[in-house]
Amino acid sequence: LHSCDAGAVEFVPCVDVPTEPEILSPADKAKPFATAVLLDWKGPDCATDFSVVVRRGTRTGRVVFSQAGITDTEVTTSDLRRGRKYFWQLTACNAAGCTTTPWLRFKIRATL
């Protein structure tokens, strides 16, 4: 005989590196109005923390915002300059390792 345990949840730990997160915003080549930009993504479930880096002008440009150890799936940048192009990248990590997204870019609109 087997009995059911109502409400029991089995946790299976992740054994592989996280899959690549899905970027929600800003989409690649977006032109946001706000100078403090919401970087938002979905999953992956196996990630325990995230880090982001935002560079000005190019993928190798000066780092203008960086944050590690993020446990939520979003972060807002500090104020960035209007009319400038930025590149950003997200890394999802767990005990098995990390996965990094390709670079995405956005440009803060010069005027409201």
Lowest mean pLDDT among 8-17, 24-33, 57-66: 8-17
The reported pTM is 0.85
CA–CA dist 57, 18 (Å, integer): 29
Distances (CA, A) of 47 to 41, 60, 81, 88, 104: 12, 26, 31, 19, 20
pLDDT, tens only, 31-89: 999 999 999 999 888 999 999 999 999 999 999 999 999 999 999 999 999 999 999 99
- Rounded Cα distance between 86 and 63, Å, is 10
Per-residue tokens: 1: 């005989």
Give Cβ neighbours of residue 13 (< 8 Å, ≥ 6 apart): none
